[in-house]
A = this chain, B = another copy of it.
């Protein structure tokens, strides 16, 4: 079951002026589930996106990039689950464009004003006809307060929908930010598709929005994945409808940092929710590596710990088998790392230093920390000023069950 994650309360998800959302049951892969989402954006909305770096990137990712390059007037997003339209070659591109054409026709837009997204099984042709046939139903129920339905519509193996809202005041105007995400493959988070959509009604220039998306993704979704090691379909989109009435924010505006930070906070919550709903997860682990020479080496150490199946299974067992963490640090491929100067903490407990177990360490203390659902693993490399934090989850029977059964 998800770790300290609950279904968002629908009324807590605040409408964003200029955004409406509609869903449908298209039967893409399974019957009786919402599997198509349409998001309609008001004229003047600025849209920025970051996408997977996987060389086998999916057809919709290619089309998204083409459309973002072709126009600054994106007016709708179309998401389907059940089929990722990945590894589908030329036909996949045709299918993605065909779905954009169909939605453009219904909304009186041009096809390149639509961004398409798909998630689900790969290497199978997209049942584009079923998606197209479901679009009228999705459009009929386009509403501003459909965020929870939207979050539910993009789920695949997710147990819970993921969504959150924040508000702040800029220029005396209330700015609303609401976002949704999906994704739950966690052992290598990079291999399961993550989708994230964050919308705000703030007025903000396109260049400033581009800066914010890079900043936010590096502090959130990129802390549960590895640059360049992403799935075929990963996408993160930020939309700003410019309808809140504030003076347009640029990178030089006094309020730029405040808006950036709240949008980042939304990104972090949505990214952490993916980990908390990790496939089979029973623990949420924060891996914090500090006092490294640079952020890159801190991230290497953190990811090596986070990716170790031996570490993950020990956390599942609530077993303070801390040697497995030390072994992972040891093969993290950091040059000249001196294991005799680093310290390892589990929660607030110093467990290892000087290359061995700390004399002060009591097994009961380690056991107590391991019983928690939220666990902090902290590594002090003691050789510099850089740090990095990433989030991951443990590795359970259910991970295997979910992934062995996925296509059945």
- Give residues in A with beta carbon < 8 Å to B: 53-57, 84, 86-92, 121-124, 185, 187-188, 190-192, 228-232, 307-310, 313-314, 316-317, 319, 321-324, 326-331, 333-334, 337-340, 352, 354-357, 395-397, 399-401, 403-408
Whole-angstrom distance between the Cβ of A229 and the nearest chain B Cβ: 5
Interface pair A308/B191, CB less than 8 Å apart: yes
Q: Chain B contacts of A331 at CB under 8 A?
A: 53-56, 190-191, 228-231
Interface majority SS (helix, strand, loop, mixed), chain A: loop
Which residues of chain B have C-beta atoms less than 8 A from A230's C-beta? Answer: 331
Least distance between A310 CB and chain B CB atoms (Å): 5
By the criterion CB–CB under 8 Å, are B405 and A317 in contact? yes
**Contact partners of A408 in chain B: CB under 8 A:** 317, 319
Who on chain B is nearest to A318 by CB? Answer: B404
When all copies of this chain in the complex are counted, the total is: 2
The minimal Cβ–Cβ distance linking A403 to chain B, given in whole angstroms, is: 4
Choose from B308, B313, B357 the contact partner of A87 (Cβ within 8 Å): B357
In whole angstroms, what is the CA distance A90 to B89 when docked? 58
CB neighbours (8 Å) of A337 from chain B are 55
Cα A152 to Cα B321 in complex, Å, equals 25
B57 near A330: Cβ-Cβ < 8 Å? yes
Beyond known contacts A55-B339, A397-B400: 20 more, CB 8 A cutoff = A53-B331, A55-B330, A55-B331, A56-B327, A56-B331, A87-B327, A88-B355, A122-B327, A188-B307, A188-B308, A188-B310, A191-B309, A191-B328, A309-B309, A314-B403, A314-B404, A316-B404, A395-B400, A397-B401, A399-B400
Q: What is the CA–CA distance of A357 and B89 in the complex, to the nearest angstrom?
A: 8
Alpha-carbon separation in the docked complex, A404 to B317 (Å): 5
A55 proximity list for chain B (CB < 8 A): 329-331, 334, 337-339
Q: Give every chain B residue within 8 A of A188 (Cβ-Cβ).
A: 307-310
Contact with A121, one of B54, B89, B307, B323 (Cβ below 8 angstroms):
B323
A56-B329, A330-B232, A339-B55 given; A400·B87 CB < 8 A: no
| A56 surroundings in chain B (CB, below 8 A) | 326-327, 329-331, 339, 355
Chain B, Cβ-Cβ closest to A280: B400
- Greatest chain B CB density within 10 A among A57, A232, A309, A354 is at A309
In the complex, 29 of the A-B residue pairs with CB atoms within 8 angstroms, ordered by the A residue number, are A53-B331, A54-B331, A55-B331, A55-B337, A56-B329, A56-B339, A84-B323, A87-B355, A87-B356, A87-B357, A89-B356, A121-B321, A121-B323, A122-B327, A123-B321, A123-B326, A123-B356, A124-B323, A124-B357, A188-B308, A231-B327, A232-B326, A232-B330, A313-B400, A313-B403, A317-B403, A317-B405, A317-B408, A400-B400
